[in-house]
């Protein structure tokens, strides 16, 4: 049991404070005032003072007034940037163009999400036939007056007549589920109330819906009858699993098998798979994989299931399991581990297995027969990233998209029998890709581990240490950062900058060993890698501290928060978005229990020591000359609690010894998830890039593109 004592001490109301508990003089008198109400916790014999615990209460009048004053101050500072208008006009060009998601093929119909150039929000579309016109089925424009509600495509019935979609308010993870009759072009009566849903799946006959919903008690799987008058749902799986366990159901393509994945935390080191044969009404949900310490991800086709796993294969392999006799002794390996590449994902499409590998952090797609015989590899024009391949087992077509930092997304349709490809959609984003150069470099981290980094810049870059540089990374949850198109990167490079992305330990770029080297008590490796990347860029004269900025979001927000508190001398400016920063208390809020397998918990004495050693909120030191920092969060972030950014902004404003601004941009409507109006995205990027350009003394110049 965690020993904890809380004491509340009210001190001089608006005086600054450092984490030693000493009240200090106001550091920057122009900041909005932040009151002090110290709460002292005793954890495992250590006293920890928290001067801004009151800011954890998001709805209190005091917090709301504080947010309003912070936003007003931030707006005044950001709006003064002289190049703001030119920057906003340039961002219009790559963002106000048509963009399209991978299609779901049903019969002769193709369903997909589209962001039209002339609309502020994405819509759900359909093409009747491969060459048909795009028909808008669902437009969120009328769902809210302020554009804060968006729609997402969740599933489509086998015959293409019924569509399940979600309505999201702001950027929260929760959805309301609705049903759309494609023939009638109208919603069907009834909806499923707001919740955090996973694996929403329609049966082929449209009579039943399966889904998981995560609540306070944890994730549970439900079955809902869509034909009767009753709207009751039936709980079928999940009782006994705690809130730190995620559960995701899904149906085989023919609807015969219900496949349930149980994952023990984000980027879990252990996964269970349970299966039910729905063709036999009396059949039970049966564990197929249960007591193996490894990750498994399966897809059922016909009477078998293909499973990607790192069991006895850190880089991943694919097994085949006969669902009529799934005992472990009969499992077959069909695609063995590649020791030189990481198996990222696979898709059973057109009677074949499309396997997406990462080889030195760039995509490679290989096609195999179901028995593992190699068919061919798919070639791409540059170092870049390929999406998962979309398609159905019984159709002779596959869809995938390709992009790189400077190459906008292109969706290809492949005739799987011949391998012939045609462009299904190509983005018309104006960018002169031929003027950009992409390179991959390697450097040694603090412990001599070799770490790769992508650099993107204009051709002919002069290495004189004066190039404005934006460095980003992630380093967690087995997530790989691969070359993908970025409007932020393009605009940055056009202004003479260097855009750098480092592949830190904790990610999945080199398999499970790479991931494990950056989690739990090895998390400091991630920060060391990131700081090593910054030092390499300076040493090789790409930039210098006065020209170096960093940015990160979510776990990447934790990354840059740790970097700015551990080495504030290395950076001029920081953008810290939707971050985790108080790592002693993070696990107590929202869905953060999912992340305990990755970070650990302060409830455990040894893990507490690790977390406290790097927790950014606990390492802000009075008088330190911190970089200019822009914290970004919002009310609708229901994933990473906004309290982290609120508390950290208040503490740093009171503590910094430099004249560089510490700002909080707080959206009272939107949040963590990326779905947002294009106009809002342009404004947000203008704020972020304008902030960085001003701090790095970059004057924005009009940019010539292929379209003007």
| 658 in the same domain as 516 | yes
Q: What is the pLDDT of residue 136?
A: 96
Strand partners, 250: 259
Give residue-wise pLDDT tens across range 369-412.
999 999 999 988 788 999 889 999 999 999 999 999 988 999 99
Structural domain includes residue 303:
no
| 475 in the same domain as 421 | no
Q: Which residues, 6 or more positions from 497, have their beta carbon under 8 angstroms from its beta carbon? A: 457, 467, 468, 469, 470, 698
Rounded to whole angstroms, the Cα distance separating 504 from 524 reads 11
Rounded to whole angstroms, the Cα distance separating 634 from 642 reads 6
Q: Which residues, 6 or more positions from 418, have their beta carbon under 8 angstroms from its beta carbon? A: none
Structural domain includes residue 394:
yes
Q: Domain residues for 376? A: 345-428
Structural domain includes residue 520:
yes
| 602 in the same domain as 652 | yes
Rounded to whole angstroms, the Cα distance separating 517 from 494 reads 36
Cβ-contact 178, 230 below 8 angstroms = no
C-alpha neighbours within 13 Å on the C-beta side of residue 264: 13
Kindly report the three-state secondary structure assignment for every residue of 549-609.
Answer: EEEEECHHHHHHHHHHHHCHHHCCEEEEECCCCCCCCHHHCCCHHHHHHHHCCCCCHHHHH
In the chain, what percentage of residues exceed pLDDT 90?
A: 81
Question: What is the arithmetic mean of pLDDT over 4-16?
Answer: 35
Give residue-wise pLDDT tens across range 564-604.
999 999 999 999 999 999 999 999 999 999 999 999 999 99
Q: What is the pLDDT of residue 371?
A: 96
Structural domain includes residue 624:
yes
Q: What is the pLDDT of residue 492?
A: 96
Q: What is the pLDDT of residue 7?
A: 35
Question: How does DSSP classify residue 514?
Answer: H
Q: What is the pLDDT of residue 708?
A: 41
| 464 in the same domain as 392 | no
Candidate from 332-341, 428-437, 550-559, 597-606 with smallest mean pLDDT: 428-437
**Confidence tier at 673 by pLDDT (50, 70, 90):** low
Distance between terminal CA atoms of the chain? Answer: 66
Structural domain includes residue 116:
no
Q: Tell me the CA distances in angstroms from 52 to 387, 640, 652, 704, one per residue in order.
A: 43, 18, 11, 47
Rg (CA), the chain: 26
Q: Which residues, 6 or more positions from 238, have their beta carbon under 8 angstroms from its beta carbon? A: 212, 218, 219, 220, 221, 247
Structural domain includes residue 442:
no
| 414 in the same domain as 466 | no
Structure tokens at 96: 């106000």
Coil, strand or helix: which one is 686? Answer: helix
Q: What is the pLDDT of residue 11?
A: 34
Structure tokens at 449: 């581990």
Q: Which residues, 6 or more positions from 373, have their beta carbon under 8 angstroms from its beta carbon? A: none
Q: What are phi and psi of 178, to 5 degrees?
A: -130, 165
The edge-to-edge listing of strands for the beta sheet with 469-472 is 436-444, 450-458, 498-502, 469-472, 548-553, 573-577, 628-634, 662-667
Q: What are phi and psi of 475, to 5 degrees?
A: 70, 55
Rounded to whole angstroms, the Cα distance separating 225 from 235 reads 12
pLDDT of 683 above 50: yes
Structure tokens at 556: 């990447």
Cβ-contact 151, 138 below 8 angstroms = yes
| 469 in the same domain as 381 | no
Please confirm, yes or no, whether 214 is among the known catalytic residues.
no
Q: Which residues, 6 or more positions from 448, have their beta carbon under 8 angstroms from its beta carbon? A: none
Structural domain includes residue 381:
yes
C-alpha neighbours within 13 Å on the C-beta side of residue 430: 14
| 629 in the same domain as 516 | yes
Rounded to whole angstroms, the Cα distance separating 595 from 83 reads 40
pLDDT of 676 above 80: no
**Confidence tier at 423 by pLDDT (50, 70, 90):** very high
Q: Tell me the CA distances in angstroms from 670 to 60, 183, 575, 638, one per residue in order.
A: 19, 33, 18, 10
pLDDT of 5 above 90: no
Q: What is the pLDDT of residue 230?
A: 57
Q: Which of 486, 487, 554, 655 is catalytic?
A: 554
pLDDT of 607 above 50: yes
pLDDT of 29 above 80: no
Cβ-contact 342, 316 below 8 angstroms = yes
Question: How does DSSP classify residue 288?
Answer: E
Question: How does DSSP classify residue 17?
Answer: B
Q: What is the pLDDT of residue 429?
A: 85
**Confidence tier at 705 by pLDDT (50, 70, 90):** low
| 353 in the same domain as 473 | no
Structure tokens at 214: 């995560």
Cβ-contact 592, 586 below 8 angstroms = yes
Last residue of a domain, one of 428, 449, 466: 428
Please confirm, yes or no, whether 672 is among the known catalytic residues.
yes
Cβ-contact 608, 602 below 8 angstroms = yes
Buried b (16+ CB within 10 A) or exposed e, 254-279: bbbbbbbbbbbbbbbbbbbbbbbbbe
Cβ-contact 176, 193 below 8 angstroms = yes
How long a stretch of residues is the chain? 708
Give the chain's mean pLDDT. Answer: 91
Q: What are phi and psi of 315, to 5 degrees?
A: -90, -5
| 547 in the same domain as 415 | no
Cβ-contact 515, 506 below 8 angstroms = yes
User: Residue with structure tokens 């959805």?
Assistant: 175
**Residue 522 CB neighbour total at 10 angstroms:** 13
Last residue of a domain, one of 377, 407, 428: 428
Structural domain includes residue 596:
yes
Give residue-wise pLDDT tens across range 486-542.
899 999 999 999 999 999 999 999 999 999 999 999 999 999 999 999 999 999 999
Q: What is the DSSP string of 61-86?
A: HHHHHHHHHHHHHHHHHHTT-TTHHH
Rounded to whole angstroms, the Cα distance separating 53 from 650 reads 11
Cβ-contact 425, 380 below 8 angstroms = no
Q: What is the pLDDT of residue 44?
A: 97
Rounded to whole angstroms, the Cα distance separating 74 from 665 reads 6
Closest CA to 592 of 554, 620, 647: 554
**Confidence tier at 139 by pLDDT (50, 70, 90):** very high
Q: What are phi and psi of 617, to 5 degrees?
A: -60, -30
Last residue of a domain, one of 381, 413, 428: 428
Closest CA to 630 of 700, 554, 691: 691
Q: Bigger pLDDT: 572 or 143?
A: 572
pLDDT of 25 above 70: no
Secondary element (H or E) of residue 652: helix 643-655
Cβ-contact 87, 491 below 8 angstroms = yes
pLDDT of 475 above 90: yes
Question: What is the arithmetic mean of pLDDT over 414-436?
Answer: 89
CATH number at residue 605: 3.40.50.1820
**Confidence tier at 681 by pLDDT (50, 70, 90):** confident
Structure tokens at 159: 């015959």
- For the chain, how many structural domains are there in total? 2
| 464 in the same domain as 376 | no
Candidate from 36-40, 167-171, 344-348, 647-651 with smallest mean pLDDT: 167-171
pLDDT of 117 above 60: yes
| 381 in the same domain as 528 | no
Q: Which of 406, 515, 618, 672 is catalytic?
A: 672
Strand partners, 662: 629
| 492 in the same domain as 589 | yes
pLDDT of 18 above 60: no
Structure tokens at 65: 């007034």
Cβ-contact 317, 331 below 8 angstroms = no
């Amino acid at each position: 049991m965690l020993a904890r004592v809380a004491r509340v001490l009210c001190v001089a109301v608006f005086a600054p404070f450092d984490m030693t508990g000493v009240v200090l003089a106001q550091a920057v008198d122009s900041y909005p005032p932040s009151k002090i109400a110290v709460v002292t916790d005793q954890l495992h014999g250590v006293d920890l003072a928290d001067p801004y615990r009151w800011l954890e209460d998001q709805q209190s009048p005091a917090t709301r007034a504080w947010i309003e004053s912070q936003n007003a101050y931030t707006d005044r500072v950001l709006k003064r940037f002289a190049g703001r208008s030119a920057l906003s006009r340039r961002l219009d060009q790559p963002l106000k163009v048509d963009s399209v998601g991978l299609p779901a093929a049903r019969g002769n119909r193709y369903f997909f999400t589209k962001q039209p150039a002339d609309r502020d929000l994405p819509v759900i579309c359909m093409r009747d036939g491969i060459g048909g016109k795009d028909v808008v089925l669902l437009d969120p424009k009328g769902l809210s007056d302020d554009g804060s509600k968006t729609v997402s495509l969740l599933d489509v019935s086998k015959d293409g007549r019924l569509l399940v979609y979600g309505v999201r308010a702001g950027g929260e993870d929760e959805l309301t589920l609705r049903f759309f009759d494609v023939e009638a072009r109208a919603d069907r009566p009834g909806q499923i109330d707001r919740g955090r849903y996973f694996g929403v799946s329609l049966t082929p006959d449209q009579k039943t819906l399966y889904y998981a919903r995560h609540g306070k008690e944890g994730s549970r799987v439900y079955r809902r009858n869509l034909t009767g008058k009753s709207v009751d749902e039936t709980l079928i799986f999940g009782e006994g699993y705690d809130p730190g366990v995620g559960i995701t159901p899904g149906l085989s393509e023919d609807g015969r098998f219900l496949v349930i994945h149980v994952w023990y935390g984000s980027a879990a080191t252990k996964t269970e798979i349970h299966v039910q044969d729905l063709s036999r009404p009396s059949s039970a949900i049966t564990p197929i994989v249960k007591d193996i310490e490894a990750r498994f991800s399966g897809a059922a086709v016909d009477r078998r299931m293909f499973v990607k796993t790192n069991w006895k294969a850190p880089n991943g392999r694919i097994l085949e399991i006969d669902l009529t006799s799934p005992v472990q002794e009969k499992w077959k390996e069909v695609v063995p581990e590649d020791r030189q590449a990481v198996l990222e994902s696979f898709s059973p499409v057109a009677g074949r297995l499309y396997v997406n590998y990462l080889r030195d952090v760039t995509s490679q797609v290989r096609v195999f027969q179901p028995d593992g015989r190699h068919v061919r590899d798919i070639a791409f024009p540059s170092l870049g990233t390929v999406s998962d391949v979309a398609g159905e087992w019984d159709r002779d077509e596959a869809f995938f998209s390709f992009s790189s930092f400077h190459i906008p997304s292109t969706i290809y349709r492949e005739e799987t029998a011949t391998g012939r490809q045609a462009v299904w959609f190509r983005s018309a984003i104006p960018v002169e890709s031929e003027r950009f150069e992409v390179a991959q470099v390697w450097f040694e981290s603090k412990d001599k581990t070799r770490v790769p980094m992508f650099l993107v810049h204009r051709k002919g870059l002069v290495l004189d240490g004066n190039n404005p540089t934006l460095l980003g990374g992630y380093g967690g949850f087995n997530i790989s950062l691969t070359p993908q198109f970025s409007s932020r990167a393009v605009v940055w490079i056009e202004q003479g900058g260097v855009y750098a992305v480092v592949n830190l330990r904790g990610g999945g770029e080199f398999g499970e060993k790479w991931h494990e080297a950056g989690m739990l008590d090895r998390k400091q490796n991630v920060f060391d890698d990131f700081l090593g990347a910054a030092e390499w860029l300076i040493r090789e004269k790409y930039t210098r501290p006065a020209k170096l900025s960093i940015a990160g979001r979510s776990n990447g927000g934790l990354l840059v928060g740790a970097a700015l508190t551990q080495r504030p001398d290395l950076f001029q400016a920081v953008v810290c978005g939707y971050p985790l920063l108080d790592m002693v208390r993070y696990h107590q809020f929202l869905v953060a229990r999912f992340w305990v397998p990755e970070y650990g918990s302060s409830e455990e004495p040894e893990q507490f020591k690790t977390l406290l050693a790097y927790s950014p909120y606990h390492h802000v030191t009075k008088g330190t000359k911190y970089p200019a920092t822009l914290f970004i969060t919002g009310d609708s972030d229901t994933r990473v609690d906004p309290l982290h950014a609120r508390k950290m902004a208040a503490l740093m404003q009171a503590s910094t010894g430099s004249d560089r601004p510490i700002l909080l941009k707080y959206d009272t409507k939107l949040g963590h998830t990326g779905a947002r109006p294009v106009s809002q995205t342009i404004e947000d990027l203008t704020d972020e890039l304008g902030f960085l350009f001003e701090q790095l003394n970059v004057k924005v110049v009009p940019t010539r593109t292929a379209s003007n």
